[in-house]
Amino acid sequence: MKVLGISSSPRRLGNSEILLDRALEGARSAGAVVEKIVLNEINFRPCQECGGCDKGGVCIIHDGMDAIYRKIADTDALILSSPIFFVSLSAQAKMMIDRFQCAWTAKYVLNTVKSPRKRRGIFLSVAGSYRKDHFENARQIIRAFFATLDVEYAGEIFCGGMVKALDIGKDEDAMNKAYAMGKGLIESDE
Ligand SMILES: Cc1cc2nc3c(=O)[nH]c(=O)nc-3n(C[C@H](O)[C@H](O)[C@H](O)COP(=O)(O)O)c2cc1C
């Protein structure tokens, strides 16, 4: 079973990426083949709303997203992590998600997605403040994204009070939960 992790923070080895790594470790411990994409290191453009996907349900821009489309189509489960930036996802995460407008068109307009595979996904997020409402927008966006891909929203971890890059290391509960969730993605699929 393949598990794809997508890290959306511009800060390497910051809180959300560490949490993602822990979840991937859990998945690996249960026998998954895991891969991680760091969005900030991929060269791609935001959706141009060009209508190029209106007829075929496929994006006509060819850039770093080509590999991401392939990897997401190929994975059995997805774990996405993002910091909260201005009460939403990071720009990197939102930019990738907008490029899935082609998948939205295929599913909801063209109706060309027949019997999609059952797949599950997890959302991990961190924020500087302790305000729970700061995660709400991000959750809604990820739910819509997962629904577009027919990925079941199987779990979430939201950690407030994460300011410095390694703060997440002090949150043993979150780290353990991430490991268990990653592992659970595989075990409950067997
Ligand atoms: C541009 C920017 C915007 C931010 N906006 C918020 C916010 O709206 N609410 C919040 O609680 N924290 C906010 N933060 C703090 C980050 O969510 C926090 O530092 C987080 O730990 C970063 O995650 P990372 O280490 O994975 O990059 C913001 C940080 C930056 C750089």
What pLDDT was estimated at residue 187? Answer: 81
The pocket around ligand 1, CB under 6 angstroms, is made up of 9, 11, 14-17, 83-87, 126-129, 134, 162-163, 165
Please give the residue range of the domain that contains residue 177.
Answer: 2-187
Distance from Cα 49 to the centre of ligand 1, integer Å: 28
Q: Number of folded domains in the chain?
A: 1
Q: Which segments of the chain does DSSP mark as H helices, in order? A: 15-29, 65-74, 91-98, 101-104, 136-148, 172-187
Number of the ligand 1 atom closest to the C-alpha atom of 86: 8
- Split at pLDDT 50, 70, 90, the class of 25 is very high
Ligand 1 mutation pick, 13, 38, 81, 84, max ligand atoms within 8 A of CB: 84
| CATH number, position 102 | 3.40.50.360
What pLDDT was estimated at residue 190? Answer: 59
Q: Give the pLDDT confidence of 150-164 residue by residue, as tens digits.
A: 999 999 999 999 999
Q: What is the distance between the alpha carbons of residues 10 and 41, in angstroms, rounded to a whole number?
A: 8
Q: What is the distance between the alpha carbons of residues 1 and 190, in angstroms, rounded to a whole number?
A: 10
Distance from Cα 163 to the centre of ligand 1, integer Å: 7
Q: Give the pLDDT confidence of 105-155 residue by residue, as tens digits.
A: 999 999 999 888 889 999 999 999 999 999 999 999 999 999 999 999 999
